[in-house]
Structure formats: C-alpha cells, structure tokens
Amino acid sequence: MNEKILVSVAWPYANSPLHLGQVAGAYLPPDIFARYHRLRGNDVLMVSGSDTHGTPITVTAEREGVEPGAVVERFHRSFLDTFVGLGFSFDLFTHTDTENHWEVTLRFFRRLLERGYVTKQTMQALYCEECHRFLADRYVEGTCPFCGYEDARGDQCDKCGKPLDALDLIKPRCKFSGDTPVVRDTEHFFLDLSQFNEPLKEWIADKDYWRTSVRNFSLGMLEEGLRPRAITRDISWGIPVPVEGYEDKRIYVWFDAVIGYLSASIEWARNRGTPDAWLDWWDPQRPARSYYFIGKDNTFFHTLIWPAMLLGYGDLRLPHDVPANEYLTLEGKKFSSSRNWAIWAPDYLSRYDPDPIRYYLTTHAPESSDSDFSWSEFLAANNNELVGTWGNLAHRILTFAYRNFEGRVPQPAELTAEDQAILDTTAEAFGPVAADIEACRFRAALARVMAVAREANRYLDVAAPWKALKVDRARAATAVFVTLRVVDSLTVLLAPFVPFGSEKLHATLGYDEPLFGTQEIVPYQEAERRHLGLTYHGVSQGVERWVPSALQPGQALREPSPAFKKLDDAIVEQELARLG
C-alpha cells in the first residue's frame, strides 16, 4: 500500500534570490525526504511557491521604480531556475498571485469569519497625512527607543537588531514624504488564536517525536497563552479583504502565505486534470502524513497559527511533523545580503555542480544547532568524501569491470564469507537509513551510508580483483560482481542526497529506466491570469525501488566516466574574495 506523503516547503519571499542558508534550512531537506519517498513508491505531493505579497516586495519595487508584479516575476523565475538547477523535485512550485490562491484564501477567511474565529478590533497605526495613507512598519523611520539610533526602521532597528513597533519610535517620520505621521485608529480583522490555545495543547501533547527545540518553543508559547493577531493591513498590495467597507485593506501576508500549502495542492490537482486528487493528502479521514520544512524563524506560524487555522476551518489534515532547522552561518558570520555576506544559489550554480553542495549541506545540516558553511570545508568534503570515498569507489570498479569483463556484469562463482558479509552489510543499511530519513535525521542518514561506502572500499582492497585476475579469473569475477552490487545499492541509498551523480551511475550500471523523473517549468493559464510553475513528472510510480541491488550477471554496462569531480584548491581563495 503506497503511503500519501505531503511535503510542504516554506514559501520564499519573491524579493531576492535564494541563498545557501535558505537552501540548507528549508529547501534541500524536503527534497531529500521527497526523493526517498518517491524511491519507496510512495505518493509524494511536494508543494510550495513564491510569496508575492510581503511588504519587502513593495519596498524593493519602490526602490527600483517598478511595479511589485515585476519584482515578483523576476525572483519567481529565479527560484524556478534555482530549483531546477539544484534538482528540487517540486510537484508544484507556484506563487500566491494566482486566481486559485486568492479564491482559496478568501474561502478560508470567510469561513473563519462565519465561525467567529476572525473578529474585528480597533488598533492604532501611523498615518501620513501628506501621503493619505497608513504606513506599514517598514515605511516609518525614527529614533530607536532602545539604543537611540536615529535611522531605525519601524519594524526593526538595524543598529541594535531589536524588533520594533512603529508606534514606539521616537520622532517617527514617513519614509516617503518625510512628514511626521499621526496616530489614527484603524479597524482590522484578527485571528482569535486564544480560542485555539487548549485544542493546540491537546494536539501537541503526543508529538513527542518533534525536535526538542520545536516542541519546547511551541509549548512555551501555549503556556504564555496565544493572543489575537491581526490578519489585515492598511496597504494596497495583496489580497483584498472580502468585506464591505474594507476595500482599502489587504490580507496580511502571513495569513495567506500559509494557506498556500493548501491552495498549491488544489492547483496541482487541477493542473493535472484531477481536481479532487488533493483530498488524498488533505482529507483527515484518509491515511496520509504531512511534513512542513521550514527555518526556525517560521516555527510559530507552522506549529501554532497554521494548525489553529486548520482546526478552525475544519476537515483538513494538521501537520504530522515540522522539522524546523536552525540557521546556517557563512565563514562563521550570519548571512547578510546588504553586506554581501552571502552565497546566492544562482551564483553557486553558475560555477559548480549541484551534488557537492547538496552533499555538504546535508553533512553540515543545521538540524540541532546552527552550523557553518566554509569554502575550505566544502572543498574538503567534496574532494575527500564525496569524490574520494564514494565517487572513486564507483569509478574504480566500473572501469575495472568495463575493461576486463567485456563491458558486462561478470558471472560470479561461489561467494566467500567476505563477499557475503559486504553484501549483507549493504543490504542491512536500507532499514536504518530509511528510519533516519523518515525521522528527518538527514545528517545521520547520510553518515550511515558513507560508512557503508568506506566498508566497501576496505572489502575491495582485500578482495583485490586486479590481483586475482592474473591467477583466478573466477575469483576476480566474483569480487567484481559483488562490488558492483554494493555500488548499485549505494547508488540508490545515496540517490535522495546526490540525485545527479546517482542517476549517472545508475545509467552506467546498465539500467535503461532512470531513478527519478524530470522537472519542467510550465506556463499555467487561469481565466485571466497566467503564471509559471515548476512541476515534476515521476517514473515507476508505486514501485518500491528502495531495495538492495539485484544486478544481474551479463547486464551491459555503459562506458564509465566520473560521476563526481574534484574541485581545485584555488576556489577557496577565489570564493572568499567574492564575499563582503
């Protein structure tokens, strides 16, 4: 019985390219997870999209003197290309500026309103009389009440880093007109989270498999008690509030962004002509599991707010797990786009292959604490581990077999105890590696596989078919056969982590059908709007391929060439020079 696995991935703001910190935290882990489940023959639905409605986007647009839509289009396209380049196998990567997403969001809003979970409240906000509009926090500048910095933004002080409320700024001024804004009352809709405090406590009570930081953080918030939270804003960019008298207001970006998981699932089903198919993952009466891959800054929205919204809406599946990651630092310091202390995914892909970074960011994944990216460590991990331990093992046995056994998998004679032992060791890895991946312990899973690769190197050194070939061809053939099977198994075990190299080795081993399907960027036309999406066309659906090798003697190999390449030591200096 195939399992239905919903892989929900954080929605990136379409106002800058993706950097490696985001890749490590929120985008690579779900792809490993999804590819593993695809190999299992499970039905994966992996969705995400660009968040197009944030204030950061209007800030970027105004700075550049273009429409917000143009900013969105540019970075959405950038995300699509990055995901193709890194091999992130989204079933659908869409964005929030679609008719479908607006419909689903409004349906959500209306139902929560009808059920009394969304309520009206009057709050105070800064209003610029010169511009005739309310000012979003980021559109106000003034003196920081904590450190006295005079150019603090309304949402956060760049000097001391503290989050601010624009109302607390001393001597506030409008970012556009420079005028001093006035405090005005404004009515907004609030999601009354307090009604969900107890239901959420009950729901989290049995989530003992969540990461400790995620669970403790969520329980702590519930202990403090959740408060109503505004879900509309006085801005013009976003989804209009569907209530008379509120035409000038928009739904606050965080509210519609989380709904994207649902709307993207619905869009995916429609795009493929099976409009109800999304229910297989979302109907709580049917068997399925949902996972939300995010960075730790998003935990609150995914373990509390989104579940509250789902409880309020009803008849939808709540998250099974939210494996939030900590942060990645770069050469010991925080990523900072303004100081150019960042590695942008498009830049990386313009110079290097995807597998090395996938490998590095998995072995150094910020799963339990912050971790660091360093170019010298990256180089070492690629050259010593990915290439040295694994790539070389695969290459040496493939070239040896190709040259000495007529390009075919040789016929083995009787297996020795050593032959059987390495085959057993390899076969026995499938279970524990699967368990690690299913528990979202990707770093541990990969380490376990690499331990098998090292064991296989030791086996091959002892078996030494290059020596046996001269005195006992049958023994050499057997050792080559055994090693090829081990390499075949390792190719599958490593496929979720380094899919490009595994795909190449899989073909070299003589298989005609690929391990994975293909990605495609597709234009989707709605009634009036058109958008680009990334989708995935699977292969061998429903077939379990997470199994030890059954490579058959006589299978024709393809001419081997290295699946992974060494990187020149000089790149460390070159890349460090690009930073800062």
Q: Is 119 in the site for RNA (CB under 7 A)?
A: no
Contact 271, 92 (CB under 8 A): yes
Nearest to 170 by CA among 147, 153, 139, 145: 145
Contact 252, 105 (CB under 8 A): no
Identify which of residues 177 and 336 has a Cβ nearer to RNA in the complex. Answer: 336
Identify which of residues 129 and 158 has a Cβ nearer to RNA in the complex. Answer: 158
Q: Is 156 in the site for RNA (CB under 7 A)?
A: no
Nearest to 431 by CA among 16, 96, 40, 164: 40
Please select the residue that binds RNA; options are 314, 369, 512, 527, rule is CB under 7 A.
Answer: 369
Please select the residue that binds RNA; options are 4, 38, 302, 364, rule is CB under 7 A.
Answer: 364
Please select the residue that binds RNA; options are 120, 286, 334, 351, rule is CB under 7 A.
Answer: 334
* Residue range at the interface with RNA (CB under 7 A); choices 68-76, 492-500, 513-521, 559-567: 559-567
Please select the residue that binds RNA; options are 119, 213, 271, 540, rule is CB under 7 A.
Answer: 213
Contact positions with RNA (CB under 7 A) in 279-298: 296-297
Q: Is 396 in the site for RNA (CB under 7 A)?
A: yes
Distance separating alpha carbons of residues 197 and 225, to the nearest angstrom: 7
Q: Is 400 in the site for RNA (CB under 7 A)?
A: yes
Q: Is 255 in the site for RNA (CB under 7 A)?
A: no
- Tell the smallest beta-carbon distance from residue 199 to RNA (Å): 20
Which tokens sit at 422? Answer: 């390495």
The residue whose two tokens read 């290097």 is: 352
Distance separating alpha carbons of residues 348 and 78, to the nearest angstrom: 13
- For CA atoms 16, 17, 18, 21, the dihedral sign is negative
Q: Is 393 in the site for RNA (CB under 7 A)?
A: yes
Identify which of residues 246 and 300 has a Cβ nearer to RNA in the complex. Answer: 300
Identify which of residues 471 and 550 has a Cβ nearer to RNA in the complex. Answer: 471
Q: Given the DSSP bridges, would you call strands 140-143 and 118-128 parallel, antiparallel or unpaired?
A: unpaired
Which tokens sit at 237? Answer: 């960019």
Q: Is 130 in the site for RNA (CB under 7 A)?
A: no
Identify which of residues 171 and 470 has a Cβ nearer to RNA in the complex. Answer: 470
Distance separating alpha carbons of residues 25 and 165, to the nearest angstrom: 28
Nearest to 77 by CA among 499, 523, 518, 519: 523
Task: Write each residue from 370 to 389 as x if it is in contact with RNA (CB under 7 A), else as -, in one continuous string.
Answer: xxx----x--xx-xxx-xxx
**Environment class of 315 (CB within 10 Å of its CB; exposed 0-12, middle 13-18, buried 19+):** exposed
Which tokens sit at 5? Answer: 């696995």
Kindly list the residues in this chain that would bind RNA in the complex (CB under 7 A): 162-163, 212-213, 216-217, 220-221, 224, 296-297, 300, 326-327, 334, 363-364, 366, 368-372, 377, 380-381, 383-385, 387-389, 391-397, 399-400, 443-444, 450-451, 454, 457-458, 460-461, 464, 466, 562-566
